[in-house]
Amino acid sequence: MTGPVTESDIPAERQSPDVPSSGGIDLISSHVADVAGLSVRRALPRRSRRTVGAWCFLDHMGPVEVGHDQAVSIGPHPHMGLQTVTWLTAGEILHRDSLGSEQLIRPGQLNLMTAGAGVSHAEATTGSYRGEVQGVQLWVAQPESTRHGSPAFEHHGVLPRHELAHGVATVLVGTFGDIASPARRDTDHVGVDLDLGVGVSLLPLAPDFEYGLVVLEGAVRIGPVGIEPGNLAYLGVGRHELALTAASPTRAILIGGLPFPEPLLMWWNFVGRTREEITAAYQQWQAQDDCFGVVDSPLPRIPASPPAWLTTPLPPSARRQ
């Protein structure tokens, strides 16, 4: 249920906000992207904000009605150097991967796939489900210490919950307050689902983490700043707590972590460090190299488009004589 990164991820020298910062909050508009015929709101990466901690990708899909004429249908495609975090608030999706995993995911459950050096997967609605589908898929960049390692897959049917004054926080990954998720974590990061009722809820934060908030449904205010679906609210570092005010029932995702210390290069479904390794991964997928394994799926394999640096002519000054 994720789409690839379609813009070249040229390491940004300096990240600047889309709108002037207010109360230390930058509101960054999501990009509307098409994923297998479905419209998604892509909150990360954006030109002005590429990562929040190790989180480097966030797609908000739906709500969309699936039935006989509409489906989520994403054929086998590879990943490298990242973890996919899949979380639904409505509907169901079937995950199949090259490790042999076949896992139905429903609201309240977490699918966490670690790509390491290479994995492939397919994600689709089941065909038997009719109704609304809504969810998020996020990627976590793997650190140097694990990104060349083995792929892995985890499914968590039940996750720990933290009661708020007006709502419930479900800890997908990492530690929130004194509640820790059992999900694998290769860096210091946190991901939390917020199911908020009307009122003010106080969230415990870690001051050395940077945070971002995406609203899926409803709206919240942080001081004077209103946050609605279609934006990433970047909250920076240095906060010990966060007061969220909801005027109506609201669903949101909070992500955070230590600012990622390594430079990242993202292309299509790959996270790496250099053009050479991304180019090699692209060529291996196109050649059906077994480094990404094989997914047992009825859906067709998704071909990769070539990295921009292979198709864009070099400027004259960069040409060798």
Closest distance of CB 278 from Mn ion, Å: 16
Residue closer to Mn ion, measured from CB, 2 or 101: 2
Contact in structure between 54 and 256 (CB atoms under 8 Å): no
Residue closer to Mn ion, measured from CB, 167 or 191: 191
Torsion sign, CA atoms 102, 107, 110, 113: positive
Closest distance of CB 41 from Mn ion, Å: 17
What is the per-residue DSSP string for 115-147?
Answer: -TT-EEEEEE--SS--EEEEEEEEEEEPPTTTT
Residue closer to Mn ion, measured from CB, 2 or 51: 2
Distances (CA, A) of 301 to 5, 92, 114, 278, 286: 17, 22, 20, 19, 10
Residue closer to Mn ion, measured from CB, 71 or 196: 71
Which residue has the closest beta carbon to Mn ion? Answer: 2
Closest distance of CB 79 from Mn ion, Å: 6
Look at phi and psi of residue 241 and say left if phi exceeds 0, alpha if psi is from -120 to 50, else beta. Answer: beta
Dig out the tokens for 178 from the structure. 């004194």
Residue closer to Mn ion, measured from CB, 142 or 231: 142
Report how far residue 216's alpha carbon sits from residue 252's, in angstroms, rounded to the nearest whole number: 5
DSSP 275: H
DSSP 317: G
Closest distance of CB 77 from Mn ion, Å: 6
Of the candidates 18, 23, 4, 5, the one whose C-alpha atom is nearest the C-alpha of residue 225 is 23
Residue closer to Mn ion, measured from CB, 2 or 250: 2
Residue closer to Mn ion, measured from CB, 125 or 250: 125
H or E stretch covering 284? helix 275-286
User: Tokens 């989520």 correspond to what residue?
Assistant: 72
- The residues binding Mn ion (CB under 5 A) are 2
Closest distance of CB 200 from Mn ion, Å: 37
